[in-house]
Structure 1
């Protein structure tokens, strides 16, 4: 998702995403934090009488932080994410609409403090029948 990749200090955001990866999370071990993991969770399909489908794709973006102050960084990342997405809520014309569903901050305390900003989004789009 290009909106997530655009969240960098060079573009004026407080959050500086170092890498973006898919659900396998392969960038978590290889990259400096913060790292964003993007996962599509499910897609609902409504059939129209005109042989096209209206779809809603649910997406979760998890931005990982570590260390003291990581909870505040995670809260800022949510704000930065919404700012970045608001620039193009049609994903370059691929979606009819992209909108927020929920967001949360998860804090884990072990040897180090880890925080995760979890943002749920939904993208609405249309396809011809039997197309993805």
Structure 2
């Protein structure tokens, strides 16, 4: 009878504590599978403030700043024009992840160069001219 009670207590403890499904993969608390799906597109500076442009695995754009904690628990530890570094967690593998900026640099767009052609009349339809003079 004692053995039967011990088995019953053991089974009830297992049920109360919740058994993990052995056929389901363990939960990825570090979100390590997502790391390769994210892309760093660059940084925008406004005075002392640097804002990184990051695209997640679902192709949603995020604006991030240094020391910001993202929804998945990653922390932005370094943000430069060429690279963004996140800390994934103490027990995560890898504990940090780096993305290098992707995309082309087009510095001429925002330099305010005075030698550029004037944009007067751009976007307007040219008036049609009558070759017959009438």
Alignment TM-score > 0.5, same fold? no
Max radius of gyration: which structure?
2
Q: Which has the higher contact order (CA 8 A, sep 6+)?
A: 1
Higher fraction of strand: 1
TM-score, structure 2 as length reference: 0.30
